[in-house]
Chains A and B, each alone.
Chain A
Amino acid sequence: MSDSKQLTAVQRADLRTVAAMIVPESLEYKVPGADDAVIQADMLATLGRDTALVAQALDHLAQLAGKPLAELDEAGRDAVALEFRKRGGAAAATLVRVVLQCYYRDDRVLRSLGLELRAPFPKGHVLPDGDWSLLDPVRARGGTLRGASR
């Protein structure tokens, strides 16, 4: 297992490949894949406390593949992915989470989803108050409070 603070070049290459396996580019939805250079740069810059587990997951992937993931054909990659997801444990879960948390904060992806490109604070959101007459049947049924003295 690698425990360095940085991923190696081989690990970075496999990270790009597996990220695209998880979330590929889509022309239909006009979004990049998770192997996009900007998204990859975000992942590498914010790995932080996840670095060791992500490196462990990538080492596991490399072991399953026997060579750089990118050199496997599609069927080979699918087989590796299946095994990785089945037996990868916390490290695999961390790797997938890192990919998804960086992907789903990318401006292009959020725009495609119809989401605003901002932090929740300070603007917040507006909620409809809703139809409170929906409570009428609950009021009509009433009820008693068990064990109450009054």
Chain B
Amino acid sequence: MKNDPVDVLIIGAGASGAAIAWSLADTKMHILCLDQGGWMNPAEYPSTGRDWEAKFYGEWSSSPNVRKRPEDYPINDDNSPIKVVNFNAVGGSTVMYTAHWPRLHPSDFKVKTLDGVADDWPIDYDALTPFFEENDRMMGVSGLSGDPLSPLSHPPMPQQPLGLSGPLIGKAMNELGWHWWPSDTTVATTDYEGRARCINLGHCTPACAQGAKASTDITYWPHAIRAGVELKTHCRVREILTNEQGMASGVVYYDKDGVEQFQPAEVVIIACNGVGTPRLLLNSVSGRFPNGLANSSGLVGKNLMFHPYAQVYGYVKEPTDSNRAPPTCLWSKEFYDTDLSRGFVRGYGIQFGRGAGPVFEAVASEQKGILPWGKDHHRVFRKLNGHRLAMSAICEDLPEEHNRVTLDPVLKDSHGIPAPKIDYTISANSRKMMDHGLARGREILEAAGATDICINDPIPWGGWHLLGTARMGTDPARSVVNEWGRSHDVKNLFIVDGSIFVTSGGVNPTSTIQALALYIADQMKQRLANLFD
């Protein structure tokens, strides 16, 4: 079935797809977005039920391979110590994330110049500054301006309370003389733009029933739709087609009834993030593009960066916030910048965790062997439950071509579309960085008085950040898109998600992903008259 052509077709309604849809809406072009997922119903979010913790092990798992909702596609990540986690719906993985909201630092855009590794980005931090600010207003960010070791931000809402856990961490960091600061987060601490303020449901990561946590289904999308953008749900794109001029002509997708459709478009924008985007490009094979679309460099799918998470946690005598607060509230940039005396290049951010709920505590502690079976179970559980403090070193992963997304020769999704396969190893530099983070984490927790210290090295289901698999650059032989997100090979094809990152920094990437999407939208609007030149 063939549909009427649109001016702009966006694939994916998550973090970046929503942002660019909203930004381009003022052009009055006919914009259509297709997403394989649907609208979520907050009344069905886990925190509305007594079984809220159990759901995280099943239908609300962060892993699509466990969750297996009809909207999900399988991912073969057997050959990776870090498993891919994501969410497929309107809002994408902003529905299921911790809402931790750091930005890349200025130094992250010039790692070759500063440290002699990887590549510099073709743009710098200053190019994104106005878009960081615009995005913070749109998503609704809370925080405390003035962090001496982070880029200046102006959060429109005050920071989260320190709660019970925050002072324990702050005192420990002060004792060590190390930097810490309240995190910018996309958790609304006041009523904001139709969103109710946070009431500390605690179980924020698998979606916020209060609507206090920003996800693009409740931030960008209502604005974009009011401005005329059309959003079709439960439409899974199989491939992008091209015409005899080598331009994208539209996409083939399966609609909500499983019927194959063709959607013609003048411009195609991919916003499927670091696994979904290369999967789609590699599935878009033709005589002109036998190795996949936009892949003359051979780099589509390569240079996958995850951010290995080295986590340390322990138990203090004082009560912590447990499940009674958003999971993160503080960060540290003490070890963010390169110090070669540490034995590795680049660095990591630290994200502190306030605690865990009783089921998670019991399950995790039993698996670690610190919660016994039998009569001593009750005594030990009471010592652990409600007393956990945690920190994670978010290690900058440098790009390596052997870390990659390819198409699995066997595994397919429910529409028969080849599924992605991940091959990934933790580099020697990342390994040293993780060891450093684990050692510092132990020192922090011991300074806080914690005992029974455990580690997750790496957090196995920690592949939240999917970066680098269609990198941006000025050299078509060494990059997939140019410095404003347009494919070098296909001049009406754009990519706006985490796959265009050149390097990963040591922070959660969603703020930067969305700033990039807004920046690319702005570049497109400035070039509308000669967009394909």
Known: A22-B373, A147-B107. A120 touches B203 (CB 8 A): yes
A102 partner residues in chain B, CB cutoff 8 A: 54
- Chain B residues 35 to 62 lying within 8 A of chain A, measured CB to CB, are 45, 47-54, 57-59
A147 to B126, CA, bound (A): 11
Interface centre among A29, A46, A113, A124, by most chain B C-beta atoms within 10 angstroms, is A124
Could you tell me if B162 and A132 are in contact, using CB atoms closer than 8 angstroms? Answer: yes
A126 partner residues in chain B, CB cutoff 8 A: 200
Q: Chain B interface: which of A54-62, A63-71, A133-141? A: A133-141
Could you tell me if B359 and A120 are in contact, using CB atoms closer than 8 angstroms? Answer: no
- CB of A73 closer than 8 Å to a CB of B: no
A84 to B404, CA, bound (A): 36
A105 to B166, CA, bound (A): 27
- CB of A145 closer than 8 Å to a CB of B: yes
Per-position contact with A for B98-116: 1 when CB-CB < 8 Å, else 0?
Answer: 0000000111111000100
- Chain B residues 153 to 169 lying within 8 A of chain A, measured CB to CB, are 160-164, 166-167
Per-position contact with A for B12-36: 1 when CB-CB < 8 Å, else 0?
Answer: 0000000000000000000000000
Q: Find A127's partner among B105, B203, B325, B367 (CB 8 Å cutoff).
A: B325
Interface size class of B (residues with CB under 8 A): 35 or more
A135 to B50, CA, bound (A): 37
- CB of A44 closer than 8 Å to a CB of B: no
B179 partner residues in chain A, CB cutoff 8 A: 138, 141, 143
- Chain A residues 105 to 145 lying within 8 A of chain B, measured CB to CB, are 105, 110, 113, 115, 117-132, 134-135, 137-139, 141-145
Q: Chain A interface: which of B223-231, B260-268, B377-385, B469-477? A: B377-385
B109 partner residues in chain A, CB cutoff 8 A: 147
Could you tell me if B210 and A97 are in contact, using CB atoms closer than 8 angstroms? Answer: no
Distance (Å) between the CB of B241 and the closest chain A CB?
Answer: 37
A144 to B337, CA, bound (A): 11
Known: A24-B375, A46-B54, A101-B54. A145 touches B149 (CB 8 A): yes
Q: How many residue pairs bridge A and B at CB < 8 Å?
A: 173
Distance (Å) between the CB of B180 and the closest chain A CB?
Answer: 6
A102 to B155, CA, bound (A): 41
Looking at chain B's contact residues, the main secondary structure is loop
Distance (Å) between the CB of A142 and the closest chain B CB?
Answer: 5
- CB of B435 closer than 8 Å to a CB of A: no
- CB of B454 closer than 8 Å to a CB of A: no
A123 partner residues in chain B, CB cutoff 8 A: 199
Could you tell me if A113 and B171 are in contact, using CB atoms closer than 8 angstroms? Answer: no
- CB of B366 closer than 8 Å to a CB of A: yes
Could you tell me if B362 and A100 are in contact, using CB atoms closer than 8 angstroms? Answer: yes
Distance (Å) between the CB of A77 and the closest chain B CB?
Answer: 10
Q: Find B321's partner among A113, A127, A132, A147 (CB 8 Å cutoff).
A: A127
A146 partner residues in chain B, CB cutoff 8 A: 105-107, 114, 337
Could you tell me if A131 and B167 are in contact, using CB atoms closer than 8 angstroms? Answer: yes
- CB of B286 closer than 8 Å to a CB of A: no
- CB of B202 closer than 8 Å to a CB of A: yes
Could you tell me if B377 and A23 are in contact, using CB atoms closer than 8 angstroms? Answer: yes
Distance (Å) between the CB of B43 and the closest chain A CB?
Answer: 9
Q: Find B363's partner among A24, A28, A101, A121 (CB 8 Å cutoff).
A: A101
Could you tell me if B374 and A21 are in contact, using CB atoms closer than 8 angstroms? Answer: yes
B108 partner residues in chain A, CB cutoff 8 A: 147
Distance (Å) between the CB of B385 and the closest chain A CB?
Answer: 6
- CB of A93 closer than 8 Å to a CB of B: yes
A62 to B448, CA, bound (A): 45
A100 partner residues in chain B, CB cutoff 8 A: 359, 362-363, 366
Could you tell me if B167 and A101 are in contact, using CB atoms closer than 8 angstroms? Answer: no
- CB of B427 closer than 8 Å to a CB of A: no
Could you tell me if A121 and B201 are in contact, using CB atoms closer than 8 angstroms? Answer: yes
A97 partner residues in chain B, CB cutoff 8 A: 57, 363
Per-position contact with B for A21-51: 1 when CB-CB < 8 Å, else 0?
Answer: 1111010110100000000000000101110
Residue of A nearest to B210 (CB): A121
Interface centre among B166, B167, B321, B378, by most chain A C-beta atoms within 10 angstroms, is B378
A105 partner residues in chain B, CB cutoff 8 A: 50-51, 53-54, 359
A147 partner residues in chain B, CB cutoff 8 A: 105-110, 114, 125
Distance (Å) between the CB of B148 and the closest chain A CB?
Answer: 4
Q: Find B162's partner among A49, A129, A138, A145 (CB 8 Å cutoff).
A: A129
- CB of A4 closer than 8 Å to a CB of B: no
Distance (Å) between the CB of A24 and the closest chain B CB?
Answer: 6
Distance (Å) between the CB of A133 and the closest chain B CB?
Answer: 10
A1 partner residues in chain B, CB cutoff 8 A: none
- Chain B residues 348 to 381 lying within 8 A of chain A, measured CB to CB, are 358-359, 362-363, 366-367, 373-375, 377-378
Distance (Å) between the CB of A126 and the closest chain B CB?
Answer: 7
B114 partner residues in chain A, CB cutoff 8 A: 146-147
- CB of B209 closer than 8 Å to a CB of A: yes
> Apart from A23-B378, A120-B52, what are 17 other A-B pairs with CB-CB below 8 Å?
A22-B366, A31-B378, A119-B50, A122-B48, A125-B202, A125-B324, A127-B164, A127-B321, A137-B174, A138-B148, A145-B149, A146-B106, A147-B106, A147-B108, A147-B109, A148-B106, A149-B124
A interface vs B, CB < 8 Å?
A: 21-24, 26, 28-29, 31, 46, 48-50, 81, 93, 96-97, 100-105, 110, 113, 115, 117-132, 134-135, 137-139, 141-149
- A-B contacts, 12 listed (Cβ < 8 Å): A22-B374, A24-B374, A31-B378, A100-B359, A104-B358, A113-B358, A120-B52, A120-B209, A147-B108, A147-B125, A148-B105, A148-B106
B interface vs A, CB < 8 Å?
A: 45, 47-54, 57-59, 105-110, 114, 124-126, 146, 148-151, 160-164, 166-167, 170-171, 173-174, 177, 179-182, 198-203, 209-210, 321, 323-325, 337, 358-359, 362-363, 366-367, 373-375, 377-378, 382, 385-386
Give the 4 A-B residue pairs with the shortest CB-CB distance, closest first.
A130-B162, A124-B199, A147-B107, A125-B324
